[in-house]
Each structure stands twice: as C-alpha cells, then as structure tokens.
Amino acid sequence: MMSDTSRPTVVSPDTLRGDKLARTPPGQQLTAKWPVLHYGSVPKVDPYSPNWSLRIFGLVENEYELTYDEIRKMPAVDVVCDMHCVTHWSRLNNTFTGVPTKAIIERAKPKANARFVMCHSEAGFTTNVPLDEFIADDCILAYQWEGKDIEPDHGWPLRGLVPQLYLWKSAKWIRGIELRATDAPGFWEQNGYHMHGDPWAEERFGW
Ligand SMILES: Nc1nc2c(c(=O)[nH]1)N[C@H]1C(S)=C(S)[C@@H](COP(=O)(O)O)O[C@H]1N2
Ligand SMILES: [Mo]
C-alpha cells in the first residue's frame, strides 16, 4: 500500500490533460528514472536538532516557526503530479506526501499586499513563486515520495512542491517561506532562468 486511505488525494490538474503525449509539455522527453539536479552538494540536515525550523515570515500578521515534528503531525495529503525539469526531462505519475502550503501560509495571516513568496533553503538557495500559485491545491511541503521518506538527494527532510511550474521552483531542503509585495529573482532566476517558469508556455530562460 502506498498511502493510508484516511489521507486525501489531490490530483494535479496537469495530469488530467489526456494521454502521455498530451501530458508532456513542449520540448520535454519522458524519463522513468528520477534524475538528481541541484547546485552545490547535498546538505547534511538533522531536522530533529534544536537548530532546525521552518520559518514563515515577511508580509504576514503572524510570523511563526514549526519544528519538524510539528510538520510531520499536521494533516497531510497525497499529491499525484508530473514533474517537468527545464533540462528537458519529465517524469509522470509521482505521488508525494506532505502538508498543503495553503495551510502553512494561512496560519501566518498574509497581509493584503503580499503577492509573492520567496522560498529559502539550506545553503542560501532561493526561488520565487507568485503567492496565488504557491497556495494552489496541489502545492505541498513534501516529505515522502511513493510512500517513503524522500531521499536526501531529492530534498529530505522537506521540499517545496509546485507541480504546475518547472521543477526548479520546488525548493529542496526548504527552511523558510518569505511573503513579499514584489517579485524578486531567486538563485536560478538570477542565473538566467525565467521569473515564472510555466512549462506549457516554455518559460525556461529570460524574464
Ligand atoms: N535547495 C535547492 N533546491 C533545488 C535546486 C537547488 O539547486 N537547490 N535546484 C532545483 C532544480 S534546478 C531542479 S531541476 C530540481 C531537481 O529536483 P530533483 O533533484 O529532485 O530532481 O530541484 C530544484 N530545487
Ligand atoms: Mo533544474
């Protein structure tokens, strides 16, 4: 069994586009394996150490922090989605488990002028996402893939998952979510990647 039946399943809308071909964005090739891609080395993270927290901050009424234990005890969902990497591979039919970003963000009470989030990860990695897209129903902070803890290579203990954008918007080893009024480029965006990153519009590079 991959999932316990008491957990709701959220199906990412892009998986409902039709057959494999219809689900493959322009310029993408399907892969069965899951490649590992990131800048730098895999950080050694102990989410149970007192130094680890997930911090929600910026344009909110209620800045707060969560321990890893608290996150793992929050109501979780299974998300069925496809992954699209800007380096031209796509992997269909993934099941990730984690906490809806909407619940995480709502608890912070975003101020009226909050429009964007900046995700902050270990070692200074960042990526920017419009707030309304970050709290879509299929967006979670994920800790499991196919019913098992995500491998450290792929972002354990916690990674963002924004299935409707290219995979670089899904921050591995996430530690903070900052709410902002204005957009700003994150790590790959500063290195030429697109500010938005819609795979169906091939928003790969350039602003
Ligand atoms: N913290 C962090 N997250 C990251 C990256 C990174 O360099 N650091 N790279 C992004 C990029 S470019 C991609 S394609 C995906 C790859 O995820 P995967 O290795 O699980 O396939 O992670 C994204 N998240
Ligand atoms: Mo990437």
61 CA → ligand 1 middle, Å: 30
In terms of DSSP bridges, do strands 148-149 and 116-121 run parallel, antiparallel, or are they unpaired? Answer: unpaired
Angle at 87 between CA 35 and CA 172, to 5 degrees: 55
Ligand 1 contact, 167 CB (< 6 A): yes
Domain 9-32+46-201 has CATH 3.90.420.10: yes
Positions of E strands within 109-203: 116-121, 126-130, 140-145, 148-149, 159-161, 174-180
Amino acid at 48: Y
For the segment 3-13, what is each residue's pLDDT rounded down to a tens digit? 556 899 999 99
User: How far, CA to CA in Å, does 1 sit from each of 32, 33, 163?
Assistant: 21, 21, 23
The span from the CA of 161 to the CA of 134, in Å, is 9
CA 12 to CA 90: how far, in whole Å? Answer: 15
Q: Is the pLDDT of residue 89 over 80?
A: yes
Q: What tokens appear for 78 in the block?
A: 């299974």
In whole angstroms, give the CA distance from residue 104 to residue 94.
Answer: 22
**Strand ranges inside 45-122, DSSP E:** 54-58, 64-66, 77-84, 89-100, 116-121
Domain boundaries, the chain: 9-32+46-201
Q: Is the CB of 35 within 6 Å of ligand 1?
A: yes
Mean pLDDT of 59-68: 98
* pLDDT tens profile 121-153: 999 999 999 999 999 999 999 999 999 999 999
Q: Tell whether ligand 1 has an atom less than 6 A from the beta carbon of residue 154.
A: yes
Q: Name the closest-CA residue to atom 16, ligand 1.
A: 37
Distance 122 CA to ligand 2 centre (A): 17
Structure tokens at 132: 């309304």
**30: Cβ below 6 Å to ligand 1?**
no
- Check residue 158 and give its pLDDT: 99
pLDDT reported for residue 21: 97
| 145 touches ligand 1 (CB under 6 Å) | no
